[in-house]
Chains A and B, each alone.
Chain A
Amino acid sequence: AQKITQTQPGMFVQEKEAVTLDCTYDTSDQSYGLFWYKQPSSGEMIFLIYQGSYDEQNATEGRYSLNFQKARKSANLVISASQLGDSAMYFCAMREGALTGGSYIPTFGRGTSLIVHP
């Protein structure tokens, strides 16, 4: 079974608007971490934001915020004030905790392609 599901293969947004990229996850661990990465056409995976399962506040990093809904097992990425340079692939990932034998190795979803148009 997929541990990370990204149901939106592609998203379009107008410059300066906000966009939400969806991510749902599946784990039975109580301790886990959720990550978002950006991959532009050059190929490098760029870390954006992290949310721990015990963090009560939603993580924010500049224009990025993570809408963490633990009961629904969702960790959506919100990009505010989109810029042309935000056009890229976006990957959600999960690291399961070591308490139940997890190995701290992140598992990635299939990604969402975001295109920002002027």
Chain B
Amino acid sequence: DTGVSQDPRHKITKRGQNVTFRCDPISEHNRLYWYRQTLGQGPEFLTYFQNEAQLEKSRLLSDRFSAERPKGSFSTLEIQRTEQGDSAMYLCASSFPSDQGNTIYFGEGSWLTVV
């Protein structure tokens, strides 16, 4: 399978705990995106990497959120001191700029439930 993969697919955590999600993009895609999606909403942009550089962050990305892409391949999204409002699906996507207008391809998402 050469698509975007995310791990874990589901995570239940207690409020105040830290969680980390991993994303492996499509190989050779140099752009990687994180989005958050809550029930009844479309995906909301969180942050974007080109290679290993984090080029843009949304105001939604509070200080408790941090994302890395250390070698320009896989990425991690960490949420510290989770709150119930962090419960959502976290979607990772990747793209190659010249591919059909920079079409982004998503993984299956990581569902987070904070109890």
Q: Which residues of A contact B (CB under 8 A)?
A: 4, 33, 35, 37, 42-47, 50, 52, 91, 93, 95, 103-111
Q: Which secondary structure dominates where chain A touches chain B?
A: strand
The total of Cβ contacts below 8 Å across the A-B interface reads 59
| B105 A91 Cβ-Cβ under 8 A | no
| B45 A33 Cβ-Cβ under 8 A | no
Of the candidates B48, B89, B104, B108, the one having the most CB atoms from chain A within 10 angstroms of its own CB is: B104
| A50 B101 Cβ-Cβ under 8 A | yes
Size bin of chain B's contact surface: 20 to 34
Q: Which residues of B contact A (CB under 8 A)?
A: 31, 33, 35, 40-45, 48, 55-56, 89, 91, 93, 95, 97, 100-109, 111
Q: Which A-chain residue is minimally distant from B3 (CB atoms)?
A: A44
- Nearest-Cβ distance from residue B11 to partner chain A, whole angstroms: 14
